[in-house]
């Protein structure tokens, strides 16, 4: 029968396999069940941290935060159209970040400390604060002497003089104030939030407003200082430029005097103006000369023609005297014509008229001669004037060349004078503008809203802190839960055993409470409660064992072993035997643990019942003793006593003969073998078994011991029929949600009567 039992590759089936299963899908239900199973760990951690946070919050000193709001001015007010010495702030992020740094600078904070005398405030001057909070006692360094603290943390250089002590104190107060100050700029905004935190609400508002005020004053002071420095520099520069202008003007004037360069109010020098005037006069003189010469030539032409009247001369024709004489001549000729009709040529009247006519002609002739002489004289004078003007013009041109060379240098001097004058004018104008800006300076920021006295503390946020600690406690509890699960070193279901060793599960034996046992053993409970889940578990083990083999080849000699003592191996053997006995089968239970036998005391046996020792030693006869028979299940029990060399007995032919005879006599022989790690007896016994059942205490037996025991059993190269999980806490097992037979054992089912 042993040979016909299906064998597997023992080394392959028993070799540990600690790889992750093929299904790596996260089991949400199993995760939730794990959290529910460890709910008291999570709840305890959360409650502890919540209570701890409440204690800490009560010990914390409330702090208040006041906030002032500043705005960077993007629109500039210009009272007068003057360019400022210091330009306004930029509106880019770098400029705003710079102003935030200014608000947090030690220089500005130092002004606040000095103005509000914060050196005398115990909140910021640690040397004045003698109070200690409860949390300060948690500092281990507070219990050390100054010598030990200096040895561990180092001894800082302490100031000696009063000035050094005051400076160090002020620096530490500035550091403390800076730690309580918060300055930030919201995105896409020109506003700056100045927040200050203090244990006193009024003090927080006062310091926040003081920082904002001193910041604006600091901006004005910076501008005033820049304007003052600019005024000083411009003043010295204007003085230098004045001296330079005076020197250049004197040099130009001396040069003008040396070269007699007279500059008139009109454009150009005197020489140039004279040349221009002479040119104009010369042109006029030449014109006059040409006109006079033309009249003279006309007169000469008339004279050459024998024209005594010179009537062709315009001046003669237009002369009023000649015109009057001509009228008189015409009147005398008319008169002579009238007298000629009455008198003869020699008539005195005719002679008088002739004499009068000749006299008039003589006067006309004389007047014409005067006009002709005047024209000739005018032509001569015009010629002389043209010549004189030409001579003067030539002389002035020669002088002009000399003056032109001098004016080149003069213009250079004048340009220098003009440049110096322009520079002086520019600087003088800028100096006056800058001087006038002293009273027109404006800060580049403004206070949008001043800090109000806060009515509620900003720290600690009691409710928020407690809630955060509670959530943190829940998180830590969950972490502890998974840590405990990871440190859980026992087996809780058959899937774990199959994954690690390839072994199949035969069944789970529920743990029976002491209240149900009533001072009797588990086997007594099984006999008294045949319909309980405990009894059903053993029937399930038998069924799994029987149907694990081909039909007709079920194992007859079955051994039970475990890793270490106390795993319920003997109880499982007795209960399995009782279950088989109640089903009408003839069963023999053999106690093969001669190192630590328990059957005698457990069942209350005496020496009258046959021992395994006597059977193997051949010290009994058929009528001398009898096997112990259970009165309820009718199973036979062969108990044993301690022996010094049990391996020798199990290797003997007597043990083989005993098993052969038992196979004939009984349907099942259940052998309770010693633990595999305790002694090596099981290695000898297992070679004579049809099937070996490995017993593991649920959740208790460390995995390393199970692994070591199975490695020991590998030496037999015999098949392990399966694994039994004993002492299963059904209520806890249900919490894991494995959904196996152990889960159903704990339900309120009508199938069981526990």
How is the chain split into domains, by residue range?
A: 10-17+502-745, 270-436
8 A C-beta contact, residue 68 and residue 212: yes
The whole-number average pLDDT for the span 233-237 is: 78
8 A C-beta contact, residue 200 and residue 64: yes
8 A C-beta contact, residue 355 and residue 410: no
Helix (H, G, I), strand (E, B) or coil at 641: coil
CA 504 – CA 494 distance, rounded (Å): 7
Can you read off the two tokens belonging to residue 109?
A: 């904070």
* One-character DSSP codes across 701-739: S-HHHHHHHHHHHGGGT--EEEEEEEEE-HHHHHHHT--
**pLDDT of residue 644 exceeding 90:** no
**pLDDT of residue 19 exceeding 50:** no
8 A C-beta contact, residue 194 and residue 67: yes
Beta bridge partners of 638: 590
The DSSP secondary-structure symbol of 551 reads T
Q: Which of 528, 626, 544 is closest to 582 using CA atoms?
A: 528
* 522: preceding bond cis by omega (within 30 degrees): no
Helix (H, G, I), strand (E, B) or coil at 195: strand
Can you read off the two tokens belonging to residue 538?
A: 């053993």
Q: What pLDDT is recorded for position 157?
A: 62
Q: Alpha carbon of 34 to those of 31, 471, 735: distances in Å?
A: 5, 18, 7
Per-residue pLDDT band at 91 (split at 50, 70, 90): low
CA 360 – CA 347 distance, rounded (Å): 20
CA 641 – CA 626 distance, rounded (Å): 16
Q: Which of 89, 87, 92, 85 is closest to 215 using CA atoms?
A: 89
Q: What pLDDT is recorded for position 441?
A: 55
CA 298 – CA 311 distance, rounded (Å): 10
CA 197 – CA 176 distance, rounded (Å): 11
pLDDT digits (tens, 9 = 90+) for 649-663: 888 888 999 999 999
Q: Using alpha carbons only, what angle is made at residue 570 by residues 566 and 576, rounded to the nearest 5 degrees?
A: 135
CA 33 – CA 723 distance, rounded (Å): 25
Collect contacts of 738-743 with beta carbons under 8 A, ≥24 apart.
738/492, 738/493, 738/495, 740/493, 740/494, 740/508, 741/507, 741/508, 741/537, 741/540, 742/493, 742/508, 742/510
Per-residue pLDDT band at 130 (split at 50, 70, 90): low
Q: Worst-scoring range by mean pLDDT, 138-152, 460-474, 541-555, 588-602?
A: 138-152
**pLDDT of residue 422 exceeding 60:** yes
Q: What pLDDT is recorded for position 735?
A: 65
CA 281 – CA 302 distance, rounded (Å): 31
Q: Establish how many alpha carbons lie within 13 A of residue 293's alpha carbon, considering only the half-sphere containing its beta carbon.
A: 11
Can you read off the two tokens belonging to residue 665?
A: 């006599």
b/e string for 184-205 if b means 16 or more Cβ within 10 A? ebeeeebebbbbbbbeebebbb
Which of the two residues, 79 and 569, has the higher pLDDT score? 569
Calculated CA dihedral for residues 409, 415, 416, 417, nearest 10 degrees = 110
CA 74 – CA 79 distance, rounded (Å): 16
8 A C-beta contact, residue 656 and residue 688: yes
8 A C-beta contact, residue 726 and residue 568: yes
pLDDT digits (tens, 9 = 90+) for 341-358: 887 778 788 888 888 888
Q: Using alpha carbons only, what angle is made at residue 588 by residues 586 and 594, rounded to the nearest 5 degrees?
A: 175
Cβ atoms within 10 A of the Cβ of 324, count?
14
Q: Establish how many alpha carbons lie within 13 A of residue 608's alpha carbon, considering only the half-sphere containing its beta carbon.
A: 4
| Percentage of the residues of the chain whose pLDDT score is greater than 70 | 79
Which of the two residues, 91 and 98, has the higher pLDDT score? 98
Q: Worst-scoring range by mean pLDDT, 22-26, 104-108, 339-343, 459-463?
A: 22-26
pLDDT digits (tens, 9 = 90+) for 383-397: 888 888 778 777 777
**Of the CATH numbers 3.30.1490.20, 1.10.3720.10, 3.20.20.140, 3.40.50.300, which one belongs to the domain with range 10-17+502-745?**
3.40.50.300
**pLDDT of residue 227 exceeding 80:** no
8 A C-beta contact, residue 44 and residue 477: yes
Q: Using alpha carbons only, what angle is made at residue 246 by residues 429 and 418, rounded to the nearest 5 degrees?
A: 60
Can you read off the two tokens belonging to residue 257?
A: 């005097």
Burial class (CB in 10 A: 0-12, 13-18, 19+), 714: middle
Which of the two residues, 375 and 565, has the higher pLDDT score? 565
Which of the two residues, 148 and 626, has the higher pLDDT score? 626
Residue 557: phi and psi, rounded to 5, are -95, 115
8 A C-beta contact, residue 754 and residue 519: no
CA 123 – CA 119 distance, rounded (Å): 9
Give all strands of the β-sheet with 191-198 in edge-to-edge order. Answer: 181-184, 191-198, 64-72, 445-449
Q: What pLDDT is recorded for position 664?
A: 92
């Amino acid at each position: 029968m042993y040979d016909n039992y299906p064998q597997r590759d023992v080394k392959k089936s028993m070799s540990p396999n600690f790889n992750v299963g093929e299904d790596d899908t996260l089991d949400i239900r199993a995760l939730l069940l794990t959290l529910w199973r460890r709910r008291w760990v999570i709840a305890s951690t959360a409650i502890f941290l919540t209570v701890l946070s409440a204690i800490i919050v009560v010990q914390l000193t409330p702090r208040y935060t006041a906030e002032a709001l500043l705005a960077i001015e993007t629109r500039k007010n210009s009272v007068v159209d003057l360019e400022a010495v210091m330009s306004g702030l930029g509106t880019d992020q770098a400029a705003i970040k710079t102003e935030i740094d200014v608000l947090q600078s030690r220089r500005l904070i130092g002004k606040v400390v000095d103005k509000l005398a914060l050196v005398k405030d115990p909140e910021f001057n640690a040397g004045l604060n003698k109070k200690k909070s409860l949390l300060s006692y948690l500092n281990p360094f507070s219990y050390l002497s100054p010598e030990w603290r200096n040895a561990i943390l180092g001894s800082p250089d302490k100031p000696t003089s009063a000035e050094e002590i005051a400076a160090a104190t002020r620096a530490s107060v500035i550091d403390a104030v800076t730690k309580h100050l918060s300055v930030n700029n919201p995105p896409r905004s020109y506003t700056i939030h100045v927040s200050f935190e203090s244990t006193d609400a009024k003090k927080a508002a006062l310091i926040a407003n003081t920082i904002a005020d001193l910041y604006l004053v600091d901006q004005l002071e910076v501008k005033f200082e820049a304007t003052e420095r600019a005024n000083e520099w411009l003043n010295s520069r204007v003085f230098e430029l004045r001296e330079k202008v005076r020197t250049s003007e004197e040099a130009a004037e001396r040069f003008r005097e040396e070269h007699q360069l007279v500059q008139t109010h009109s454009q150009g020098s005197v020489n140039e103006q004279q040349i221009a005037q002479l040119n104009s006069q010369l042109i006029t003189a030449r014109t006059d000369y040409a006109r006079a010469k033309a009249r003279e030539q006309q007169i000469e032409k008339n004279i050459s023609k024998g024209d005594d009247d010179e009537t062709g001369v315009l001046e003669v024709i237009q002369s009023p005297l000649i015109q009057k004489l001509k009228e008189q001549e015409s009147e005398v000729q008319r008169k002579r014509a009238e007298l000629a009709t009455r008198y003869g040529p020699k008539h005195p009247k005719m002679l008088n008229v002739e004499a009068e006519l000749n006299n008039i002609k003589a006067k006309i002739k004389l007047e014409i001669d005067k006009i002709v002489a005047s024209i000739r004289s005018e032509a001569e004078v015009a010629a002389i004037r043209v010549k004189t003007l030409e001579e003067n013009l030539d002389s002035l041109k020669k002088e002009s060349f000399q003056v032109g060379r001098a004016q080149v240098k003069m213009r250079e001097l004048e340009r220098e004078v003009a440049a110096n004058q322009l520079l002086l004018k520019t600087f003088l104008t800028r100096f006056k503008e800058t001087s006038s800006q002293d009273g027109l300076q404006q800060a580049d920021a403004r206070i949008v809203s001043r800090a109000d006295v806060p009515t509620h503390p900003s720290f600690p946020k009691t409710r928020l802190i407690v809630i955060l600690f509670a959530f943190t406690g829940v998180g830590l509890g969950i972490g502890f839960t998974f840590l405990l699960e990871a440190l859980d070193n026992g087996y809780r279901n058959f899937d774990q055993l199959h994954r690690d060793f390839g072994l199949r599960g035969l069944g789970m034996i529920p743990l029976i409470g002491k209240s149900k046992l009533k001072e009797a053993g588990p086997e007594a409970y099984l006999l008294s409660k045949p319909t309980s889940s405990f009894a059903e578990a053993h029937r399930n083990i038998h069924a799994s064992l029987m149907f694990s083999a081909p039909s007709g080849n079920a194992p007859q000699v079955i051994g039970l072993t475990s890793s270490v003592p106390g795993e319920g191996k003997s109880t499982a053997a007795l209960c399995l035997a009782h279950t088989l006995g109640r089903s009408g089968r003839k069963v023999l239970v053999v106690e093969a643990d001669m190192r630590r036998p328990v059957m005698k005391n457990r069942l209350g046996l005496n020496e009258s019942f046959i021992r395994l020792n006597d059977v193997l030693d051949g010290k009994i006869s058929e009528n001398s003793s009898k096997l112990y028979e259970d009165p309820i299940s009718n199973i036979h029990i062969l108990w044993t006593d301690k022996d010094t060399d049990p391996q020798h007995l199990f290797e003997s032919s007597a043990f083989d003969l005993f098993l052969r005879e038992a196979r004939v006599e009984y349907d099942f022989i259940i052998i309770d073998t010693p633990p595999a790690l305790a002694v090596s007896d099981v290695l000898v016994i297992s070679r004579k078994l049809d099937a070996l059942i490995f017993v593991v205490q649920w959740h208790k037996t460390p995995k390393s011991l199970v692994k070591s025991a199975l490695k020991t059993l590998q030496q037999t190269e015999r098949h392990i029929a399966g694994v039994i999980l004993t002492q299963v806490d059904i209520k806890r097992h249900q919490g894991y949600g494995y959904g196996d037979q152990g889960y159903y054992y704990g339900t309120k089912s009508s199938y069981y009567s526990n």
